[in-house]
Chain A
Amino acid sequence: MEKINPMNYLFAAYVAIWIILALYLYSIHSREQSLREEVRRLRDLLEKKSRQ
């Protein structure tokens, strides 16, 4: 069986850490964006209704 270089495991571990952190940051960012848009849409709607 071919022996795997331990450095590959070190590399894999740090890549995994950055992927998990990046995915989590992306998920927070996209949720922030969609909520911001929703707040804007509802405020516009309320403003329109109050003018009518």
Chain B
Amino acid sequence: MDQRGQARLDEFLGALLFAGMILALYMAFLQAPREKTMGDLQRIFYFHVSSGITGLTAFAVNFAASVMYLVRRNRWWDHVALSSAELGVMFLSIVLVTGPIWAKPVWFVWWTWSPRLTSSLVLWMLYVAYLLVRNYVLDPDRRALVSAVFGIVAFVDAPIVWFSIRWWRDIHPAPMLETGGLSPSMRPAFYTCWAVFQILFIYLLRRRFFLEASRQEVEWLQRRADMVS
């Protein structure tokens, strides 16, 4: 796709995201019914869970891109891996901030070392470390290689986060969609928010990817300028 096509796609995704966000807020605050036990506080659920799933999706993309880099040794995959890792950290940050805000009035504590909460925090720290490690390796090919291996190893924690509430007793609620804990009248709001967060992820992934491509262009131009002088 040429530059004009990319710009048009970005504009389309931006417009879709804007309309989607308004719809998601409408669904979460006005369409979804008030929950019996927690009342309006439960409305945190729609963005909190959507962020969590999108964060895990981002780490899965990082894992796949890291494997592809090791197979193909093409920097394109390293750009995808880095972009998705950064987005995963951002989405998981939303989860780790909104979680305690929701927990305080319901569990009467901001934080507890339950399997789901602990494994989520560990996952966040692993990918923050991934982003930091990249800054300490100067050679671009070596940096991509080290990051790919790190990304693959870090992803081991993602299934633990996902299955923790199925494997162990946890204060965190059980998976609501599987156990039928989420009322059918609340599902449209949840699916809308989840879909909008996926669009947000695609939109931000594209922007972050092109940022990395620009950085590579700067490196290339810098090398050319050094050679000419």
Are A6 and B40 CB-contacts (below 8 A) given A28-B204, A46-B228? yes
Q: Once the chains bind, are A35 and B211 in contact (CB under 8 Å)?
A: yes
Q: Once the chains bind, are A4 and B228 in contact (CB under 8 Å)?
A: no
Query: Which residues of B sit under 8 angstroms from A4, Cβ to Cβ?
Result: 105
Query: Which residues of B sit under 8 angstroms from A28, Cβ to Cβ?
Result: 204, 207-208, 211
A-B contact count (CB 8 A): 79
Residues of B within 8 A of A (CB-CB), count: 32
- Interface of B, secondary structure class, is helix
- Interface of A, secondary structure class, is helix
Q: Once the chains bind, are B93 and A14 in contact (CB under 8 Å)?
A: no
User: In the complex, what's the smallest C-beta–C-beta distance from B193 to chain A, in angstroms?
Assistant: 11
A43 to B112, CA, bound (A): 54
CB nearest neighbor in A for B42: A10
| 9-residue interface stretch from B44-52, B124-132, B163-171 | B44-52
Q: Once the chains bind, are B104 and A9 in contact (CB under 8 Å)?
A: yes
Interface mask (B76-101 → A, CB under 8 Å = 1, otherwise 0): 00000000000000100110011001
CB nearest neighbor in A for B220: A42
Can you spell out 8 A-B residue pairs with CB atoms less than 8 angstroms apart? A20-B90, A21-B94, A28-B207, A31-B211, A39-B217, A39-B221, A42-B224, A46-B221
If A35-B214, A36-B214, A46-B228 are given as contacts, then 20 extra A-B residue pairs at C-beta distance below 8 Å, sorted by A number, are A4-B105, A9-B101, A9-B102, A9-B105, A10-B40, A13-B48, A16-B94, A16-B97, A16-B98, A17-B51, A20-B90, A20-B94, A24-B90, A28-B204, A32-B214, A39-B214, A42-B222, A42-B225, A43-B221, A50-B228
